[in-house]
Chain A
């Protein structure tokens, strides 16, 4: 439960930052649009990587729980 909450808060943080960047074209938005927009790719790959790692962490904690029970 705690993990789900943390994951939810993290994802809200990411979307929140993204929404702000789009709305007010501040430094975040200009960074994302500079240099052939490579930072967009970095953001996408990082999102996938952290998504997979979050899955692994969740799996790890589930297995740990099972180990404690047995």
Chain B
């Protein structure tokens, strides 16, 4: 059992994100109301996803430099957990939007279907699909070294595609989603000081939880690998 300091930090910060996130005061906003508290959960999913994808591409580059299969295992696990968090972010965003953006009094945004045409949502969907293709590519190659090399190169492409699809194109188009003029959650003039007290710890907590799951996955895969090699001999 390896309950190291960062796992304990993750548990404490997540408990704080739940207790503080639901109980501490938030600014009163029209339309959003109390749902602004979703900032501590929905937005954190995307932040954690981005951080895990960054770890994944770093591991892919390390694999290409060293050729150690261990880095390939790490890259795929971090990308897997990142994609999973992205799907959760998408699902929570869909719930949030259907109760805040969907407005029965506004014919343009009367239905769930009309708000799903948002450039941010489509961009995020494209980014997740590109990462989905990463796993399809991995599972389609049986040779271990070839799979590692091809998927490491593809991972770099997938990470590069994140920038136009979730950072640039959604900012060029009109959108209901916040973040048109910069980074709403990071801008010090934009986010309420009371919310920052919970938001930043929540981001760290969710990211650490994702990293924890990824390390378990990595250790499991390395064990399988060792077992396989022992069997070969």
Number of chain A residues close to chain B: CB under 8 A: 20
Write out the residue numbers on chain A whose beta carbons fall within 8 Å of the beta carbon of B226.
70
Q: Which of A3, A60, A66 contacts B2 (CB 8 A)?
A: A60
Contact A46 B1 (CB under 8 A): no
Residues 181-233 (chain B) with a chain A CB within 8 angstroms: 212-213, 216, 219-220, 223, 226-227, 230
The 7 A-B pairs of least Cβ separation, nearest first, read: A61-B1, A63-B219, A45-B18, A42-B22, A64-B1, A66-B223, A70-B226
A70 to B226 CA separation, bound complex (whole angstroms)? 8
Q: Which of B19, B220, B227 contacts A46 (CB 8 A)?
A: B19
Known A49-B14, A53-B11, A60-B3; contact A67-B19, beta-carbon cutoff 8 A: no
Contact B15 A49 (CB under 8 A): yes
Starting from the known contacts A56-B216, A60-B7, 11 additional A-B residue pairs (CB-CB under 8 Å) come to A38-B22, A42-B18, A45-B22, A46-B19, A59-B216, A60-B216, A63-B220, A66-B223, A67-B223, A70-B227, A70-B230
A residues at B contact (CB < 8 Å)? 3, 38-39, 41-42, 45-46, 49-50, 53, 56-57, 59-61, 63-64, 66-67, 70
Contact A63 B18 (CB under 8 A): no
A42 to B19 CA separation, bound complex (whole angstroms)? 6
